[in-house]
Amino acid sequence: MIQILHNPRCTKSRQGIALLEDEGQTFEVIKYLDNNLTIAQLTEIISKLDIAPLELVRKNEAIWKSDFKGKELSDSEIIEAMVNHPKLIERPIVINKNKAVIGRPIEAIKTIL
């Protein structure tokens, strides 16, 4: 089943859900801010995205700027930062089997449907 990591307060995330609905897809909504991902879950998602962990970080978030910006961090430290501060995770993320995509732009979601 398709999954979408969703933040209800995010316009792009809401647009991602609307796109999935418009495409007639059945999907599961994961409110990752309410139920934190584990390191293993986030590592698996990053693998499916086929990107470096840093590419998933929202670098304009205050917590990134205050606690992490300019520091030399390993991939595991970046993943740990996102697990501990889920606001740092870019959204929406749509997962379909062994592939995932960040829905920015929203049309990118169609590439894995």
Candidate list 10, 54, 63, 112, residue with the active-site label: 10
C-alpha span between 109 and 95 (Å, rounded): 9
Is 10 one of the catalytic residues?
Answer: yes
Collapse the DSSP code of 69 into the 3-class scheme (helix H, G, I; strand E, B; otherwise coil) and give the result: coil
Enter the tokens of residue 53.
């962990």
C-alpha span between 79 and 86 (Å, rounded): 10
Q: What share of the chain is helix, strand, coil (3-state, %, to 5)?
A: 45, 15, 35
Catalytic machinery residues: 10
